[in-house]
Amino acid sequence: METPAKILIIDDEPDNFDVIDALLDSEGYDLSYVANGLQALDLLAAFQPDVILLDVMMPQMNGIQFCEKFKSNMQWKHIPVIMVTALNSNEDLTKCIAIGADDFISKPVNGMELRARVRSMLRIKQQYDSLQEILHLREDLSNMIVHDLRNPLTSIILAAEMLKVGNLSTERQFQKSNQIIASGQQLQAMIDSLLLMAKLESGKLIIQLTDVDIYELCSLAISDIQPAIMHKNIEIISDLPKPGNSIKLDLSLFRRVIDNLLSNAIKFTEPNSQIILHADYLAPGKVKIQVVDSGPGVREELRQVIFEKYEIGTINKATSQIGLGLAFCKMTVEAHGGKIKVESNQPQGAIFTIEI
């Protein structure tokens, strides 16, 4: 349920508040009232409204003085202020705008006009809030990407320095060389994911459909993850259709989808457990693919949001998580006209299902 917009009314006449309360009653706003600007400043220390309706003519601190002080504060200046005034000269109205008021409405207040102006200011406030969320998201994303890119880069540097120093056995040299290659591939995969996501979002990525044998696609994916599942002592069970049939897919993109889902399952599956990769043709030109794990599962309230960019369902400090893998899967599957979802795998784990 959405939180109602908070409207602060600053007016020294209680009757004026009653009028505004009646005029805005049908809008469902959360209305608060103070009698003067000084009380409003005290209230703002703990309460931030979405819009302020400000009377101009008040004792102690008039509306213009309050607005000037209010709009000079970086913490408050983004909150829209509508001046409610009996003044009607161009000079007076110009002064209100000059000191930072966002809009004004003349007394006696017309209900239709008041509701329209409040809605307009709320849209501006919502746009500001959305922009702030995007900026915070970008900052968090930058921090996450820097952190995740630093790990394989550090591994490359350390392995290269050990090779440079020398005095390593042939076996150790081979291990360090493989470490550099694996870390480099990890870096490349992260960068490729970011670029592909950007192209998918902008519509600049052209889907190249070819006949893809699901058996071959899944078998190659399983073959490539063997080192990872052997390292965690995980058993992977494949339930695949017989080779020879095909469906129209972008082979490169869809291979990354299968890789992402399997990689995700490996991250969250405990050692000595199982992962199941199931695939089958539902009808000519239709396929169903499932990746089943026995990890912690995905809470019901997260089963939609984990497919959004930079969302993380379960924190796993031992692995890189910038929240792009499942978002990429969703965008690619939908670009093929399909759907992806996650369900609970009783008694424990998750089932990721693709239908195209």
Structure confidence at residue 162 (pLDDT): 85
Transcribe 202-240 into DSSP letters. Answer: HT-PPP--EEE-HHHHHHHHHHHTHHHHHHTT-EEEEE-
Q: Note the pLDDT of residue 239.
A: 94
Return the amino acid letter for 8: L
* Residue 223 exposure: Cα atoms within 13 Å on the Cβ side: 7
Would you give the distance in Å from CA 213 to the centre of its chain?
A: 34
Other C-beta atoms lying within 10 Å of the C-beta of residue 204: 8
First to last CA, the chain: 33
State the pLDDT at residue 317: 43
User: Does residue 108 have a cis bond before it (omega within 30 degrees)?
Assistant: yes
- Whole-number pLDDT of residue 242: 93
CA distance 326 to 292: 15
Question: Are 167 and 150 in contact, with CB atoms under 8 Å apart?
Answer: no
User: What is the reported pLDDT for 153?
Assistant: 83
Domains detected in the chain:
6-109 (3.40.50.2300), 138-202 (1.10.287), 210-355 (3.30.565.10)
What is residue 168's predicted lDDT score, i.e. its pLDDT?
80
Closest C-alpha among 217, 219, 325, 215 to residue 263: 325
pTM exceeds 0.75 for this model:
no
| pLDDT tens-digit readout, 84-102 | 887 666 777 787 888 888 9
pLDDT at residue 174 in the model? 84
Positions in the chain whose pLDDT score sits under 70: 1, 87-89, 137-148, 193, 197, 200-201, 205, 303, 305, 309-324
pLDDT for residue 281 = 94
Q: Considering only CA atoms, which of 126, 89, 100, 109 is closest in space to residue 9? A: 109
